[in-house]
Chains A and B, each alone.
Chain A
Amino acid sequence: MKKIAPKKAVLLGSLLITAGLLAAGPALAQATQSQATQSQAGSSKVVTLTVFMGSQQRPEIFQPLFDKFTKQNPNIRVKIEQGGATSEAQNQYLTTVLAARDPSLDIFLIDVVRPATFAAAGWAEPLDSYIPSKDQYVRAFLPGTIASATVNGKLYALPAFTDAQFLYYRRDLLAKYNASVPRTWDELTQTAARITKAEGGNLQGLNFQGAPIEGAVCNFLELLWSAGGNVNEVDSAQGQQGLGFLVNAVKTKLSPASSAEMKTDDSRQQFQAGNVLFGMNWSYAWAHFQGKSPDPTKVKGNVGVAKLPVFAKNSSSTCVGGWQWGVSSFGRNKAASVKLLQFMVSADAQREIAVKGAYLPVRRALYNDAAVVEANPHFKTLFTAVSSARSRPVTPAYPRVSEIIRSNVSAAVSGNKTVDAALKDMQQGLAPLLK
C-alpha cells in the first residue's frame, strides 16, 4: 500500500477543514423541491397541526387555548414545537426549515418585522382566500398590526398579540417634585434636568436603547416620527431633530454615557433598580416592575406609563411590536391552520391571553373589556399609544434596513459618527431598499 507523505496529509487535512465551512447555509437553497401535496382536512380524517414558537413567547399560555380548540374541533389536533430563545435564533431555525421546503411545520409564530420577508420568499401562505370578507374581518383589529402583516395588499399573517414602546416614568418622583408627565421631548428634558439635579446620585433622566438592536431602530423611528419625519427621508431636518435629540441626551448627561451599549433588557433592569426617571421600553417591562420578575424591584407601585412624547405639536407615534401567526406554504393542512388562527385571534382567545399572560390584545374592543381591564388596569392608558402605533418599514429587505438604521444610530449615540454623517450614511444605504 502506498504511504501518504506527512506533508500531503497536512494539506489533505486542511482541505477537509476548509471544506467544512462550505457545507454551511447556502446548500440549503438547493434542497429537494418536495412539493407538499395539498390535502384538505376531510371531516372524518384527524389532522395534527404543528405550531412553531419560541420559549420566549410562553407556550404555556397558548397550550390551553389549543386544547380548547381541539375540544371544539375533535379532528384537528395541535402540537407545539419549541425552539430558539431569541427572535434571531428562531428565525434562523425557520429559515433552515423553510428554505428546504420542509412540510413538517404548519404554523409559525414570527416577529412582527418578518411577514414581508416570509411573503417574498414564498414561505408564508397568503390568507385572503381562506378568510371570507377579509376587509370587514380585519377592521376590528388595531390598524398597525394588520399593516405589518400586509404585503402588496395581501394578508400574510394574523397578529398573535401586539406590543409597542411606551414611556415609563417614576410616579413617586414626579409627585415629589410636583411635575407632570411630559407631553413633549423638551418638557421631558427640563423635568429630567430638574429632578436629576435635585436627587443627585446615579439617577438617569432618560434611558433608551442605543445598542445596535431592534430597540434602537424603534427609538430612532419614534423620534423621527414625532418630529414629523418619515423613514424615506432620514437625512432631513426631522432626522436631525430626532437623532440629534438622542445624541444630545448622551452629551448633556440626560442619558447615561453607556447608552450605545444599552440593550432592551438592560434598560428594563436599570429602571427596575430605581436608577431611571424616564425609560422607553416595551410592555413586558410592566410586569417586571410590579414584582413578577427574577430580579428584585425597587419601583413597585411607583411606575406610571404613558405614550411617548413629541416635538412641538406633532402627533405621538410608537413602533408596533408583538408577534404574528403565519401559515407555512409547505404545510399540508392550510385550511385547518387558518381555522386555528382565526380561533386564536377571536375575542375570547385574545381576552384569555390578555388576562392570563398580560399580552396586549390585537382587537380594539378588548381595551374596554371588563375582564381585561381588571387584570391589567394600565391597558386603558396604553390604548391611545397602541392604536396609533406605526409599523417599521414593511419590506422583504427589512433585515438590511434594520442593520443600516441600528448600526448608524448606535454609532451616532456612541459619538463615533456625527449626526450628520450617520444620517447621510443611513440615507445612502436605505435609498435603494425603500424605493
Chain B
Amino acid sequence: MGEETLALFLLLPAALIFGAVMLYPMLTTIYNSLFVNSLTEPYLGTPFVGLKHYADMLHDARFLNALKNTLLYGTITVAGSFLIGVPMALVAHAESRLRWLARVAMLLPWAMPPVISALIFQWLFNGQYGVMNDLLVRLHLTRNPVAFLTNPLLAGLVLVITVIWKTSSFVALIALGGLQGIPQELTEAAEVDGASRLQGFWRVTLPLLGPALAVAFIFRVISAIQVFDIPYALTGGGPSVGQYGATETLGIYIYRTTLEFLDFGYGAALSVALFAVSLAVTALYVRFVRGGE
C-alpha cells in the first residue's frame, strides 16, 4: 500500500463522520430552506418556493433586529475578550510564584458550562436579591436596587459582561500556548539590543503571537456570531423594545422559529443565513491575513 493510499484510508472514518453528521444535515437544511414547511400551518402544504424565504428575510424586522444584535454584541464581546484575555495570558506566562493561581483562575470560566455561567450572572444581577444591587445600595451608589435584566440597555451590558467573562479565558489559553512557543532567546536578544520591555512586547512578542491570536480570533468571531446559550439562559432574548427583544440574537431567533414556532422552512433559511454570515466574516478575515503574507 502506497503512502498516499494509506493516508486516504486513514482519512476515511473522519470523512464518513463528516459526511453523515455535517455535510448531509447541511445540504438538507439548504434544501429545506427552499420549501414551505410550517407544522402549525399544515394547510399551506410544502410547496417549493425557491428563494422566497431569503427575500422575506430582508423585510423581516425581527431578523434584522436579531442580526443587528448579533453583530453589535459580537463586536463588543470579541474585542473585550482580547483586551482581557491577552493580558491574562501574559500574567499567567510571567515568571512568578503565583503563576499557578493565574492559570487556575484562567481555566475556571472556560471550564464552566455556558448555561451555568449565565444563571450565575442572572443571580448576581437579580433586581431584588442580586449581589450587585446589594453592593450598590450598601455603598450608597444607588438608593433603590437597579433592574439590570429588565432594562434593555443594562440587560445588554450584563450580557456583554457575562460573555466576556466566559470567553476571555479561551483567548488567554490560546495566547498562553502561543507565548510558550516563543523562544526566550528572542526576547533576551531584544533586551541585549537595548529594547525596553514595552518595545520588546510590541516589536517581538506580539508579532510572534500573531498566528495564535489569529486562530483565537476566528474561533471567537464564529462563536460570537452563533451565540445562543448564554443570552438564551440569561435574558431569553428580552427585554422587549418595540416589537422585539433587545438581546435576541440570530441563534435565539432560529431556535424560536424552528423549535417553538415549528416553522422548519423559514428556520432552515435563517440557519443558512447565519451560516453565510459566519462564512463571510471568516473568508474576509482569511483573505486579509493572506494579503499580509
Question: Which residues does A use to contact B, with CB under 8 Å?
Answer: 1, 6-7, 10-11, 13-30, 92, 95, 99, 117, 120-122, 212, 256-258, 260-261, 396-397, 399-400, 403, 407-408, 410-411, 414, 416-417, 425, 428-429
* Cβ B128 vs Cβ A258 within 8 A: yes
In the complex, whether B286 has a CB less than 8 A from a CB of chain A is yes
Q: Which residues of B contact A28 (CB under 8 A)?
A: 264
Q: How far is the CA of A403 from the CA of B128 in the complex (A)?
A: 24
* Cβ A121 vs Cβ B241 within 8 A: no
Question: Which residues does B use to contact A, with CB under 8 Å?
Answer: 3-4, 7, 18, 21-23, 25-26, 28-29, 31-33, 37, 39-42, 126-128, 144-145, 147, 149-152, 211, 214-215, 218-219, 222, 226, 236, 238-243, 245, 251, 254-256, 258-262, 264-265, 267-268, 271-272, 274-275, 278-279, 282-283, 286, 289-290
Q: How far is the CA of A16 from the CA of B219 in the complex (A)?
A: 11
B119 → chain A, closest Cβ, in Å? Answer: 13
* Cβ A26 vs Cβ B145 within 8 A: no
Q: Which residues of A contact B31 (CB under 8 A)?
A: 30
Q: Which residues of A contact B42 (CB under 8 A)?
A: 120-122
Given A10-B214, A19-B26, A408-B240: A26 in contact with B3 (beta carbons within 8 A): no
7 contacts between A and B (CB under 8 A): A13-B218, A19-B26, A25-B267, A26-B271, A27-B28, A122-B39, A257-B145
* Cβ A407 vs Cβ B215 within 8 A: no
* Cβ A411 vs Cβ B239 within 8 A: yes
Shortest Cβ distance from B258 into A: residue: A25
B132 → chain A, closest Cβ, in Å? Answer: 13
Q: Which residues of B contact A25 (CB under 8 A)?
A: 254-255, 258-259, 264, 267, 271
Shortest Cβ distance from B3 into A: residue: A1
Shortest Cβ distance from B127 into A: residue: A258
A426 → chain B, closest Cβ, in Å? Answer: 10
A285 → chain B, closest Cβ, in Å? Answer: 19
* Cβ A17 vs Cβ B219 within 8 A: yes
Q: Chain B at the A interface: mostly helix, strand, loop or mixed?
A: helix
Q: Which residues of A contact B260 (CB under 8 A)?
A: 399, 403
* Cβ B286 vs Cβ A22 within 8 A: no
Q: How far is the CA of A26 from the CA of B23 in the complex (A)?
A: 14
Q: How far is the CA of A10 from the CA of B212 in the complex (A)?
A: 11
Given A7-B289, A27-B28, A30-B31: A257 in contact with B268 (beta carbons within 8 A): no
Q: Which residues of B contact A261 (CB under 8 A)?
A: 126-128, 147, 149-150
Shortest Cβ distance from B147 into A: residue: A414
Shortest Cβ distance from A14 into B: residue: B282
A218 → chain B, closest Cβ, in Å? Answer: 18
Q: How far is the CA of A428 from the CA of B62 in the complex (A)?
A: 14
Q: How far is the CA of A122 from the CA of B242 in the complex (A)?
A: 34
Q: Which residues of A contact B242 (CB under 8 A)?
A: 425
Q: Which of A26, A256, A425 contacts B32 (CB 8 A)?
A: A26
* Cβ B279 vs Cβ A15 within 8 A: yes
* Cβ B218 vs Cβ A120 within 8 A: no
Q: Which residues of A contact B145 (CB under 8 A)?
A: 257-258
* Cβ B32 vs Cβ A10 within 8 A: no
Shortest Cβ distance from A400 into B: residue: B261
A91 → chain B, closest Cβ, in Å? Answer: 8
Q: Which residues of A contact B239 (CB under 8 A)?
A: 212, 260, 407, 410-411, 414, 416
Q: Which residues of B contact A260 (CB under 8 A)?
A: 127, 147, 150, 239
B225 → chain A, closest Cβ, in Å? Answer: 8
Q: Which residues of B contact A400 (CB under 8 A)?
A: 261
Q: Which residues of A contact B222 (CB under 8 A)?
A: 14, 17-18
Q: Which residues of A contact B41 (CB under 8 A)?
A: 120, 396
Q: Which of A26, A117, A256 contacts B268 (CB 8 A)?
A: A26
Q: How far is the CA of A121 from the CA of B37 in the complex (A)?
A: 10
* Cβ B128 vs Cβ A256 within 8 A: yes
* Cβ B22 vs Cβ A30 within 8 A: no
Q: Which of A24, A92, A399, A429 contacts B271 (CB 8 A)?
A: A24
A272 → chain B, closest Cβ, in Å? Answer: 15
Shortest Cβ distance from B37 into A: residue: A29
